[in-house]
Amino acid sequence: AQSVTQPDIHITVSEGASLELRCNYSYGATPYLFWYVQSPGQGLQLLLKYFSGDTLVQGIKGFEAEFKRSQSSFNLRKPSVHWSDAAEYFCAVGALFGNEKLTFGTGTRLTIIP
Amino acid sequence: GAVVSQHPSRVICKSGTSVKIECRSLDFQATTMFWYRQFPKQSLMLMATSNEGSKATYEQGVEKDKFLINHASLTLSTLTVTSAHPEDSSFYICSARKLPETDTQYFGPGTRLTVL
């Protein structure tokens, strides 16, 4: 069965500092990986996704993620965070075919301090 | 674009009543929609997969008679919580897949259900 682990429940970063959110997955085949962001009381917005090709994926809002098969990881990064980046971040793994379900990690809450 | 809306955004109801939540894909057709439930400070749990014109597929442990799902058109799926109880209070989020990118789910803004 597929699973996603986000080891960090809560991260606090100063505005302007760099950010890395960790995500590890377990999947029997080639995974399709996603990062979503959720603001309080809101739905999820897709930041970026990886299916194949270049392992460094660029997303919206200046985010990027790197797929490392050897480490089963898909960490999210941003060089310089803004106060508006404070939110909950979810990593998810899915399949293009088959049952096509998404499995989400437990999320990482990001707090930005001035 | 790929916009998904939900209505209502917030609903409060009395115990024993039924509540219907709508999920609409506004600018695309969605043959498949998904319903999730999210408890406070927790991740999303898939409840069911809704396919247009056919019965929904429920995840293990989800009562299909309690959570009725209807996907009557390519842009609308509804979730009805029947005989709601306080333990059904939660944040319900739907998502839809936009053809031809069947790999990506676009999420609605969610519906906060409070059962008194």
Query: Which of B10, B23, B91, B105 is the best substitution to test chain A (most A C-beta atoms within 10 A)?
Result: B105
Say what the pLDDT of residue B7 is: 96
**Residue B95 to residue A46, Cβ atoms within 8 A:** no
Smallest Cα distance from B83 to chain A, Å: 25
Say what the pLDDT of residue A97 is: 59
Residue type, B106: Y
Query: Which of A4, A88, A100 is the best substitution to test chain B (most B C-beta atoms within 10 A)?
Result: A100
pLDDT in tens, B63-112: 999 999 998 888 999 999 999 999 999 999 999 988 776 677 889 999 99
Say what the pLDDT of residue A108 is: 96
Question: Mean pLDDT across the stretch A25-45?
Answer: 87
**Residue A104 to residue B108, Cβ atoms within 8 A:** no
B18–chain A Cβ distance below 8 A for any pair? no
Residue in A88, A82, A34, A38 with CA at minimum distance from that of residue A59: A34
Is the pLDDT at A17 greater than 90, yes or no? yes
For the beta sheet containing B4-7, the strands, ordered from the edge strand earlier in sequence to the opposite edge, are B4-7, B19-25, B76-81, B67-73
B25–chain A Cβ distance below 8 A for any pair? no
pLDDT in tens, A76-102: 999 999 999 999 999 999 875 555 678
pLDDT in tens, B28-49: 888 889 999 998 878 889 999 9
